[in-house]
Structure 1
Amino acid sequence: MRALFLLAIFVFALLANETAAQTEPPKLSEGDQKIKIKEIDAKLANNIWAREYANYMLYTKLERELALAKEQANKGTTDLELENQIKRLSAQLDALKDFAKSPFVTLLVPPNIEASPQITNPLALFGGFSYLKSLNQTKESYENLLKEIQIASKTLKEKKELLSDEAQIAELEAQISEFEIASVTANTTFSIFSKKIDESIAEINAKITAQIKHSFVILGSILSVFLIGIVAKFSIHHYMKDNQKFYTINKFINITGFIIIVFILLFAYIENVNYLITILGFASAGLAIAMKDMFMSLLGWSVILAGGSFHVGDRIKVRYENGDLVGDIIDISLLRMTLYEDITLTTYKQNRRSGRIIFIPNNYIFTATIANYTHSGMKTVWDGIDIAITFDSNHKKAVYIVKSIVRHYSKGFTDVAKTQMNKLRDQYSIKNTNVEPRIYTFLEPHAIVVSAWYKTNSYATLALRSNISADIIEAFNKENDIKIAYPRQTLYLGRDKGPLPSDEAWEQNS
């Protein structure tokens, strides 16, 4: 039994030695150690902390050497070689002056965290996301920088295990000690810095979230205004068949919606609304003086919409600088009415131009005379033709012919005018509602004038005037006792003053 016990102890000891031999790293040869040390030195050269610390140690060493050289120079043992050494050391120290302090003093100081930006509108969200990205990058960069300390410390320990020189080992132990102290300090610093970064991230995230919610509320309000406008337009268009009135209402809804949206944006993104109102008050007072015409046009636009005196599609005449402009309203904006000039009696007699787009400021409704040919659904106007006949013509027959022709051509417009006048009497106090053609006879110095007045289409007065005129001329030419008069002069040459010839004699001589 005792022999078996001793044998078991021997086997156990043998196995323990083999296990220890397996766990202990195999010893490297001298050549392999040098290669391993070079690899470690190359790794340390790429480590920012080790590189900065090496420069700091070099600066410290040169500083000691310079102090020693100056001390020898102060003792009176200066020579040319010592002076050159002092100059060389001074130059090297000047080149390495950025490494005069320990790298742990500067590298362990965390970067400053800028104050989070104010996010008061949707565009500021881009700045908020940029700031958030910058914080994360700063935190990650500083964390990676501090991890380099642990890598450097571990690498120095590996190098220490390969060294056999006691002096080098002692120097590395001093470096390792400083790196470990710096690592502890770095962890504490990073913990504080990380909390500040997290607080800033939480703060900016809260601002971004609040602004996104606020923007969705504003967007929802704007969409609501659009939807209400669309529903209102659809409902009005469904029950209102008059396209001209619907155009005006549609324009009013669009402008009202735009104003509401502007106020929503102003009150949503301007912090001190009272301050804005005060500024706008002073600004509007100055603008009201400087831009009087524009404000009067805005007021005119509101009067036009509220009063209903003018609508898109109406034909109007505007007295402008002693001239008349006649056209159809094709648009009514905030500042002006836009007219399309048609061929009318005015363009025929005065302008000799037509087809132009004319812009009439809305403030003209206060300062100029504007005639509406189609107000309140009226589609007809009175038009007149004057026909001059000679004094010896049968004027009664001429009046009868003119009246027959005028009644024939204007009958349809007369019937329409009767219906329209009955509707207009509900709105205005109109005494004379007679719309039948009217024929007048006037005695003028040069002829008898037959003046015919009739109802015609407001948009096509010249066409009916042309047809009636052509038929009257043709009818008069068929009658022997009716002659159209025209301006003429009779000249008598000679000294004898006899009785003036009669018209018949003048006509025979001519």
Structure 2
Amino acid sequence: MLNKFLATLFLATFVFANEPVTQNEANTTVKQIQEQIIQEKLDIEQKELEEKKQKELEEQQQKELNMQHLAHINILKEKIKKSNLEFKNNILLKRYSNYVSYRKISTELALLKRSLKKNREISEEQTYQLHNKIRVKENELELIAEYKGSPIGGLINPPEIEKYENITNPFGIINALSHIKKLEDNKKQFKELESDISELTSKLDEELFVYLELFNLEQKDEYKERITFLDKEKKDFNMVLEIVSTTEEVYTRKIEQVILEIQNQISEQIQKILIIISIIFILSFLSFLVKLALKKYFSQNENYYMINKIINFTVVFLIIIILLFSYIDNVSYLVTILGIASAGIAIALKDWFMSIFGWMVIVTSGSIQVGDRIKVTRNGLEAVGDVLDISLFKITIREDITLTSYTVNRRTGRIFFIPNNYIFSEMIANYTHSGLRTVWDGIDIVITYDSNYKKAQKISRDILKHYSKGYTDITRKQLSKMRSKYQLRATGVEPRVFTFVESYGIVISGWYLTNSYAALQLRSTMSPEILDAFMKEDDIHIAYPTQQINMNKTDNHYGPSTGPRAKPAELEDI
């Protein structure tokens, strides 16, 4: 600027020196030149100031730019740090590290084998060490063999679809539903694997992009190496994602096919179950109608009860046959098994089978029916009671107060369970067989030898006829009905009185018909009645066992031929 100012001043002096001018003009010109010079000087200063400000501004901008650059680098590093935390427990990346290890060990093993082949002149010690290293590497590869061809190992293969058994019974439906649930879980698991790989690939892309930005900001070798590794890792997972996606599509279709087949079998089984339930319902309804119709033709509840049991057994048997033929594919196979096992079963369950046969005999013969009063004796134990139930294996009776309870047991009211096979080995007395409701019972009263036994017979017969007349008429009718079933000869029903001479007197034995269920009650009514009638007569005396004691003084071994008689001493009744 200063040089320009001097040049202008010199030019002005030169002009004024060559041209003649007036004093005023010269002053004016000098003044203009001075103003111009001052103006130019101001312009020069202004321009320098602006240049200085511009330079300061550029320096400030550069400083801010450097700060922004550093801040951006820190942000990128924070993103990488956060990404590393997310990848820390990622199972796919851990498996990928095993894949990388497998490749690295494979390479090392190949180098060791190549070195062993090339260096044939090495010492035995070195050869031994090489062989050891090779064995170690081979063992390491064997441990992670699943990563030989897959970056994620065995996960790349979907779970195996297990073969399911055909549904042949209702219980198979539960197993089939469990199998369907397992297949759905396997499909969901493999679908989640595809989603996880896809998500991991996206995150790897983000991390790779972050490292590329970071490398553009800072040219470091570690960033370059990481970029190379991430690029290779991303490509491997893209390959895995493509394989898994294709496999998942095929695997899903296969699972859907298997599930559809299982559902069809379940549907068939449900239809079969509904049919069987319908048949069982129809059989039950028909048995109900039959029992309802038969009830009108049976006046006695015992007969109806037995018919009811037979119908129930028949219905149950038919239901079992239906179930066997419905759910056993090969019935002959079952028959063969039962034939082979029959010997062992017959021995092990002999009593059960005998009880079943006994039940069949009881039901078909009608020898014992529910409601009958029977007497059973076994191992010295006697029981008289009413039949409550006749099941497949046992007869249930309730003990009642009877003469047996009075004379033998001295207790009653118990429930006895008698195996049905009892009828083949022991004797059972039925007090009410074939509609009979009466039995013969007897009362024995002993009178002295000097009593009027004929009068005692007549008194006993009259009392017996009076009290047993109703039972006599009932028995006569019942025996008339039994002639159609049995050959009856002696059918006398009138009370009978027998006379026997015993060592201690004359026994008047009166026999009469009484209610099978209340024999003891009628016996206890008539016994005092007969006793009172005998005691009213002067020529009838009740006898009982007595003994005579002689208290005589004699030298004869057999006692004197005559002498005072000892008074008779009364003894206890026996």
Instruction: Give the TM-score normalised by structure 2.
Output: 0.70
Matched to 1:498, the amino acid is: S
Determine if contact 1:414/1:436 at 8 Å carries over to the other structure: yes
The partner residue of 1:261 within 319, 326, 342 is: 319
Determine if contact 1:48/1:148 at 8 Å carries over to the other structure: no
When structure 1 is superposed on structure 2, of 227-236 and 295-304 the one drifting more is: 227-236
- Aligned equivalents of 2:299, 2:199: Cα separation in 1: 84
Residue 272 of structure 1 corresponds to 330
Residue 150, structure 1, aligned to residue 198, structure 2: yes
The partner residue of 2:284 within 205, 226, 241 is: 226
The partner residue of 1:208 within 260, 266, 274 is: 266
Q: CA deviation at 1:170?
A: 5.2
The partner residue of 2:453 within 385, 390, 395 is: 395
- Aligned equivalents of 2:107, 2:433: Cα separation in 1: 106
Residue 122 of structure 1 corresponds to 170
Residue 79 of structure 1 corresponds to none
Change in CA separation of 1:481 and 1:125 when aligned onto 2, cut-off 3 Å: same
Residue 436 of structure 1 corresponds to 494
SS at match of 2:546: coil
- Aligned equivalents of 1:280, 1:65: Cα separation in 2: 67
Matched to 1:395, the amino acid is: Y
- Aligned equivalents of 1:435, 1:319: Cα separation in 2: 28
- Aligned equivalents of 1:121, 1:35: Cα separation in 2: 63
Determine if contact 1:248/1:312 at 8 Å carries over to the other structure: yes
Q: CA deviation at 1:95?
A: 12
- Aligned equivalents of 2:107, 2:467: Cα separation in 1: 124
Residue 366 of structure 2 corresponds to 308
Point out where structure 1 has 5 or more consecutive residues left out of the alignment: 1-26, 75-86
SS at match of 1:187: helix
RMSD: 3.9
The alignment of Structure 1 onto Structure 2 pairs a total of residues equal to: 465
Residue 108, structure 1, aligned to residue 156, structure 2: yes
Cα deviation, 1:444-496, whole Å, max 9, x if unaligned, reads 45433322221111122222222222112212222212112222233444445
Residue 244, structure 1, aligned to residue 302, structure 2: yes
Determine if contact 2:385/2:397 at 8 Å carries over to the other structure: yes
Change in CA separation of 1:243 and 1:38 when aligned onto 2, cut-off 3 Å: same
SS at match of 1:218: helix
Residue 340 of structure 1 corresponds to 398
Residue 126 of structure 2 corresponds to none
Residue 479, structure 1, aligned to residue 537, structure 2: yes
Change in CA separation of 1:58 and 1:32 when aligned onto 2, cut-off 3 Å: farther
- Aligned equivalents of 1:339, 1:64: Cα separation in 2: 91
The partner residue of 1:295 within 350, 353, 358 is: 353
- Aligned equivalents of 2:489, 2:108: Cα separation in 1: 124
Determine if contact 2:494/2:512 at 8 Å carries over to the other structure: yes
Cα deviation, 1:384-417, whole Å, max 9, x if unaligned, reads 2222222222223222222222222222222222
- Aligned equivalents of 2:200, 2:569: Cα separation in 1: 135
Residue 139 of structure 1 corresponds to 187
Matched to 1:310, the amino acid is: I
Q: Who wins on radius of gyration, i.e. which is larger?
A: 2
Cα deviation, 1:215-235, whole Å, max 9, x if unaligned, reads 333333344443333333333
The partner residue of 2:561 within 498, 504, 509 is: 498
Q: CA deviation at 1:112?
A: 2.2
Identical-residue share of aligned pairs (%): 44
Cα deviation, 1:350-396, whole Å, max 9, x if unaligned, reads 44443333333323333333322111221111122222222222223
The partner residue of 1:404 within 445, 462, 466 is: 462
Matched to 2:412, the amino acid is: S
Residue 11 of structure 1 corresponds to none
Residue 454 of structure 1 corresponds to 512
Instruction: Give the TM-score normalised by structure 1.
Output: 0.77
Determine if contact 2:548/2:569 at 8 Å carries over to the other structure: no
Change in CA separation of 1:506 and 1:217 when aligned onto 2, cut-off 3 Å: same
Matched to 1:184, the amino acid is: E
Q: CA deviation at 1:345?
A: 2.5
